[in-house]
Amino acid sequence: MEFFKQFAVPNPTPTIYLSMVAIGLTLIAVLAGITYFKKWGYLWSEWLTTVDHKRIGIMYLISALLMLFRGGVDALMMRAQTSMPGNELLSAAEYNEIFTTHGVVMIFFMAMAFITALMNFVVPLQIGARDVAFPRLNALSFWLYFMGAMLFNLSFVIGGSPSSGWTSYFPLAGNELSPHIGTNYYMIALQIAGLGTLITGINFIVTIFKMRAPGMKLMKMPLFTWSALITNLLITFAFPVLTVALAMGTMDRLFGTHFFTMDNGGMAMLWANFFWVWGHPEVYILVLPAFGIYSEVISTFSKRNLYGYTSMVVAIVVISTLAFLVWVHHFFTMGQGALVNSIFSITTMAIAIPTGIKIFNWLFTMWKGKIQFTVPMLYSLGFIPIFTIGGVTGVMLGIASADYQYHNTMFLVAHFHIVIIPGVVFAMLAGMTYWWPKMFGFMLNEKIGKWAFWNIAIGTCLAFFPMFISGLDGQARRMYTYSEVAGFGIWNLLSFFGALGLAMGFILIVFNVYYSARYATRDIGDDPWDARTLEWATRTPVPEYNFAVTPQVDSREPFWDSKYEGKTLFKEEIKDIHMPNNSGQPFIMAAFFFVAGFGLVFSLWPVVYVAAAGIAVLLFIRSFEQDDGRHIHEQEIRDTENDKRGETR
Amino acid sequence: MSTEHSTPMEYSTETNALNIIGFWVFIGAEIALFATLFATYFIMEGRIADGPSGGQLFVISTLMIQTFVLLTSSFTIGLGVNAMRLGRKGATLTFLAITLVLGAGFVGVEIYEFYEYVHEGLSLQTSAFSAGLFTLLGTHGAHVSFGLFWGAGIIVQIVKHGFTPRTANKTFIFSLYWHFLDVVWIFIFSFVYLKGMM
């Protein structure tokens, strides 16, 4: 019995018990459903073993949406708790856990997965490639991310969630002040998911550098591909820092080392530095692809080519460089002294320059354009003003001396949500709606989509603008309650209503998926938006091999030019196409990582050894494997192409 | 398969070329990883708490053995790749085997060294310095140890299949990995040991 006690949740409440029952029942229902409808074979051969970048992208998308709801429910609980002074809906301990998991889930498992979903689906199509450079590794990336996310979410019902904030600062996150295993989940789940992200980074750098269609020079790449390239470079150089920091944090917690402790020479500030040396580039890892999406969407729906393409590319590159030079602004108040703070204050404010260039370029793209107010365009239009407000408050926070007033108040919380929601979430929803027809062969309903947009846009403003005021009035972040005389009540109540608006918006999006899947026409052709880049030049839904013939490119908007300038994209004859084989190894290996991770969380060493041996064996199997892929025969391609033509034209 | 006359076999297929570039990018990530570990070590260097410092522990003899052995192994793997390009299977296998034996020697001496450190009162838990030192050296040593298994696997495959685009590609990538570990060791040699002993 003693053995099982460690798996108990430390602060059990009826909610958690109910969740356990709900999770158990859902699992049983899903497993029973798959068995009843005899879908195990389909699930295994079409999804769990797939190495197709489009399917992997779709799995990322589904996971991201699920995590969006997990993180969203956390957010609603926080806003409900603080909606009234002295509220007792949640205890302080529960509140700590919820703001921690909200941040981790939203950043690592929602936003990262969402950008990876769109990169996976879109980038190979946009550059005219058949797949990514390393399809097998791509599958491994997804499954590592997925297992990391599942391991982290398991903490809710087994052993208890981490509670030292998504930044997990030491010494708070150390054994002394967080004796419970919750923080182990944080360290190890992020390590596993981070490994997946690093592999994605390497994979996409090689893909974009080496697999572009003939004629697509670097300066002819679509902006989304450019942003994906720079994002993956950031991933490749920033994530190893997180890897090391997490490993050292894990060693402090499990092996009693003294990296971040208060005694024996340990240095807690080192964690804060490493965390943000990774963490600030991470902000741009999330927002650069978003900028890429906006560039595509605004250009498509203004019916104009992108204004200032070269300056857009330069701006992305400058932002990515500055991203590594600003990390100290996350802790101006932690005693670096005036000189260091001044330097980082200046580099921080400098980021506003390339970002401002991008904003003006988008505005100039729309200038004299024929603007179509579709759902993706609405998100882009909503993004510009709201994001700019967030950016300007960022410059306010970047002034080191003034930051002493704002630091760790709700003003900061307002700032980063007002930046990251329009900057990332709007972009992801815009991108999802924009590429949805390519992914699934039908369009999302515009009317419901617009309702969802207005709920989300107004909800965002209502939820976070009041925090600027309560923050300036002195409301600290991460406090589970406040007294009535503080006068924060009204602002927090408004925030709660805003959060409800956001929730309503997301419910409408889910309803939209259901409604459109059921009623939308499948007769949409290959290019429903009259778009400009290569991903629209192939069939809908996209065949396994993407392009029957590799396109040949000689401009920035090859598809547009082929439609309206009479250029030919596909000049060659159809030939046999070489494709990689499916494999179950990535899924199995990631499952071993999950087991090893669980063992590490609870220091169950035999479990760790067995799982590690499993991983090693799989590495050897992979090394000795003789798998040259397979060929899709020319006739088969012709049949597929003719079929699709008959169906959609 | 686009085989130009001058293209070495390890580059000879599209997949092979992608693998090699991918591995270079991976080395880029590894540089970031080791840079972080070095940064940690430099910060922790003087934070020795009640334990011994590097100057008190580092011994020139084991250091020279390790350095000599690892640097030589980098030379022999280079000879191995050269032999592979000349199509000489026996020589390639011999040089690969010598490389792995030297690598194993390096790991052996490192384990002995760690044992000595612990004996003299520097365990992983002693101080921030010990944590930084063991993590930096241990990560490098773990990479070398991983390489031993990897290289052994490649030897088996060359024996089984001879030189094919696949085995040639694996051998070449393994040599990149091995050279990289050598470069990391040069930094450890200079900035951990020599700096610590001065």
Residues A34 and A78 in one domain: no
pLDDT given for residue B5 in this prediction? 57
Cα separations (Å) of A530 from A126, A300, A301, A432, B153? 15, 7, 9, 17, 53
Name chain A contacts of B28, Cβ cutoff 8 Å.
236-237
Residues A489 and A356 in one domain: yes
User: Is A135 within a domain?
Assistant: yes
Query: Which of helix, strand or coil describes residue A569?
Result: coil
Domain hosting A269: range is 39-583+627-648
Strand-pairing partners, residue A409, are: A476
List per-block mean pLDDT (blocks of 10 residues) for chain A, which spans 649 residues: 81 80 88 91 93 96 95 95 93 93 96 96 95 95 97 91 94 92 96 97 97 94 96 97 97 96 93 96 95 96 94 96 94 91 94 94 94 96 95 92 92 96 96 96 96 97 96 94 93 97 96 96 92 92 91 92 89 90 95 97 96 96 89 89 60
| Cross-chain residue pair A244–B126, CB shorter than 8 Å | no
DSSP string, A302-324: HTSPPTTHHHHHHHHHHHHHHGG
pLDDT given for residue A649 in this prediction? 38
pLDDT given for residue A621 in this prediction? 93
Separation in Å, CA of A121 to nearest CA in chain B: 20
Judge whether A258 is closer than 8 Å to chain B, CB to CB. yes
Residues A14 and A161 in one domain: no
Residues A78 and A30 in one domain: no
Give the span between the Cα atoms of A257 and A264, in whole angstroms. Answer: 9
DSSP string, A357-388: HHHHHHHHHHTT------HHHHHHHHHHHHHH
Give the span between the Cα atoms of A177 and A459, in whole angstroms. Answer: 37
User: Is A606 within a domain?
Assistant: no
CB A432 within 8 A of CB A389: no
Separation in Å, CA of A298 to nearest CA in chain B: 33
Judge whether A243 is closer than 8 Å to chain B, CB to CB. yes
Residues A315 and A377 in one domain: yes
**ipTM score of complex:** 0.94
A244, A262, A275, A623: which to substitute to probe chain B, counting the most B Cβ within 10 Å?
A244
| Cross-chain residue pair A239–B29, CB shorter than 8 Å | yes
| Cross-chain residue pair B150–A203, CB shorter than 8 Å | no
User: Is A599 within a domain?
Assistant: no
The domain that holds A404 is classified in CATH as 1.20.210.10
**Cβ count near B176 (within 10 Å):** 16
Residues A140 and A191 in one domain: yes
Name chain A contacts of B125, Cβ cutoff 8 Å.
255-258, 264
Name chain B contacts of A134, Cβ cutoff 8 Å.
18, 22
pLDDT given for residue A618 in this prediction? 96
A264, A277, A621: which to substitute to probe chain B, counting the most B Cβ within 10 Å?
A264
Q: What is the third-level CATH fold of B11-197?
A: Four Helix Bundle (Hemerythrin (Met), subunit A) (1.20.120)
Residues A270 and A408 in one domain: yes
pLDDT given for residue B1 in this prediction? 41
**Cβ count near A387 (within 10 Å):** 25
A residues 186-225 lying closer than 8 A (beta carbon) to B? 198, 201-203, 205-206, 209-211
Residues A216 and A231 in one domain: yes
> B28: which 2 tokens?
């880029």
User: Is A213 within a domain?
Assistant: yes
Among B43, B44, B157, whose Cβ lies nearest the Cβ of A624? B157
Residue B107's identity, in one-letter code, is: V
Residues A27 and A82 in one domain: no
B18, B127, B150, B184: which to substitute to probe chain A, counting the most A Cβ within 10 Å?
B18
Residues A120 and A31 in one domain: no
pLDDT given for residue A23 in this prediction? 84
Count structural domains, chain A.
2
Query: Which of helix, strand or coil describes residue A102?
Result: helix
pLDDT given for residue B191 in this prediction? 95
pLDDT given for residue B11 in this prediction? 86
B16, B20, B25: which to substitute to probe chain A, counting the most A Cβ within 10 Å?
B25
User: Is A615 within a domain?
Assistant: no
| Cross-chain residue pair A267–B44, CB shorter than 8 Å | yes
| Cross-chain residue pair B44–A259, CB shorter than 8 Å | yes
Separation in Å, CA of B71 to nearest CA in chain A: 26
| Cross-chain residue pair A202–B166, CB shorter than 8 Å | no
For residue A155, how many C-alpha atoms fall within 13 Å in the half-sphere facing its CB? Answer: 32
Give the span between the Cα atoms of A195 and A206, in whole angstroms. Answer: 17
Residues A21 and A76 in one domain: no
Name chain A contacts of B170, Cβ cutoff 8 Å.
623
Separation in Å, CA of A594 to nearest CA in chain B: 21
Residues A275 and A398 in one domain: yes
φ/ψ of residue A409, rounded to 5: -105, 175
B residues 8-67 lying closer than 8 A (beta carbon) to A? 17-18, 21-22, 25-26, 28-30, 32-33, 36-37, 40, 43-44, 47-50
Cα first-last separation, chain B: 55
List per-block mean pLDDT (blocks of 10 residues) for chain B, which spans 198 residues: 64 90 97 97 94 92 95 97 94 97 97 95 95 97 97 96 93 97 97 92
